[in-house]
């Protein structure tokens, strides 16, 4: 497949919640419009940042359908449909394709920690169930399982619609090896906001980003500047974002990014347990980072994430 799913910065979009813990579709519409106005290059629905692991299958698919309908073709919509159960991953992937998703993001099976052979069979069977493009998602810090470069190559050879990977292994040497053995039209996207420029330098095409939730234009510009040949500007923008990126990951994602959206007056709402409200010391750190990065903080109040009894 010669054309990449996207080039630039895709947002790993949060799933906004109402105070009672249900999905807030009106707020989701607002966040989607904020992203498109900020030049985001694609939208990922129901990834890690979207709290997919605590959504029911019905909610999961409804968020994907709603996102596809609201975006209405303005940018690609990538549906997170991975699971540690191959049967579940196939079900979600088939339904996301029916809903009109442009591509799928399949996370490595978690908890049961498949062998490399198991990973090949899992991803190939899931990809064969659909016709749309598939992005693998390698995040061993969360899944306890690392997709080795040779395994990525084997998967892509067996399933031609596996055309990209979101790499969040954090190991630049591993990503360099991956880039060296994959065809040029296989897209590598950074899965870590602090490694956008290093991965672009190895031939990457962009990032699937948490930072983009609060700074879509700035994240887009990091990639666009590099790909336009202005490496110095891209590096400058990357380094300017490092402090706020560190604050966005000072507690487990998506706790800080939802807190940041609340601090910016965008009211993403509560998270679902076992995710809890952010420590006050970390909130102060995050608020300072947002201000230093030039983002407007419009509220001193952060929604109490697990106080779900309030209207």
Instruction: Identify whether 125 is a catalytic site residue.
Output: no
Q: Closest Cα to residue 200, out of 223, 233, 177? A: 223
Alpha-helical regions (H) of 38-133: 57-71, 86-99, 116-128
Distance in angstroms (rounded) separating the CA atoms of residues 64 and 68: 6
> Of 27, 70, 137, 189, which is the active-site residue?
137
b/e per residue, 86-111, with b = 16+ CB within 10 A? beebbbbbebbbebbbbbbbbbbbbe
Structure token digits, residue 39: 């030049």
Residues 6+ apart with CB under 8 A from 114: 108, 122, 145
- Say how many C-beta atoms besides its own lie within 10 A of residue 131's C-beta: 8
Say which residue the tokens 């994430």 belong to.
305
SS3 content of the chain, % helix, strand, coil (to 5): 45, 15, 40
Residues in a beta bridge with 103: 78
List 27, 98, 117, 166, catalytic entry: 166
- Catalytic residue flag (residue 233): no
Q: What is the C-alpha separation between 23 and 16, in angstroms, rounded?
A: 6
Strand 206-209 relative to strand 8-12: parallel, antiparallel, unpaired?
A: parallel
Q: What is the set of active-site residues? A: 137, 166
């Amino acid at each position: 497949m010669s054309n990449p799913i996207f080039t630039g910065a895709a947002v790993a979009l949060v799933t906004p919640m109402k105070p009672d813990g249900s999905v807030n579709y009106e707020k989701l519409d607002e966040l989607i419009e904020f992203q498109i106005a900020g030049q985001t290059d694609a939208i990922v629905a129901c990834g890690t940042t979207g709290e997919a692991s605590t959504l029911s299958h019905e909610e999961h698919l409804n968020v994907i359908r709603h996102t596809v309908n609201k975006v209405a073709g303005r940018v690609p919509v990538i549906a997170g449909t991975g699971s540690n159960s191959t049967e579940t991953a196939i079900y979600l992937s088939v339904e996301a394709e029916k809903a009109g998703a442009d591509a799928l993001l399949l996370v490595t099976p978690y908890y049961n920690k498949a062998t490399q052979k198991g990973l090949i069979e899992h991803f190939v069977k899931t990809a064969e169930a659909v016709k749309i493009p598939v992005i693998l998602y390698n995040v061993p810090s969360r899944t306890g399982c690392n997709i080795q470069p040779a395994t990525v190559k084997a998967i892509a050879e067996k399933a031609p619609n596996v055309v990209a990977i979101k790499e969040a292994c954090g190991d630049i040497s591993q990503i360099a090896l991956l880039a060296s053995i994959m065809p040029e039209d296989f897209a590598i996207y950074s899965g870590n906001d602090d490694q956008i420029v290093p991965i672009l330098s190895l031939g990457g095409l962009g990032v699937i980003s948490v930072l983009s939730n609060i700074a879509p234009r700035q994240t887009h510009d990091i990639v666009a500047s590099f790909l336009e040949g202005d490496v110095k500007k891209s590096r400058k923008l990357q380094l300017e974002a490092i402090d706020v990126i560190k604050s966005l990951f000072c507690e487990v994602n998506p706790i800080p990014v939802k807190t940041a959206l609340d601090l910016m007056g965008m009211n993403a709402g509560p998270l679902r347990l076992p995710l809890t409200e952010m420590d006050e010391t970390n909130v102060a750190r995050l608020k300072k980072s947002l201000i230093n990065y030039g983002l407007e903080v419009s509220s001193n109040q952060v929604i109490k994430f697990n106080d779900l009894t309030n209207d």
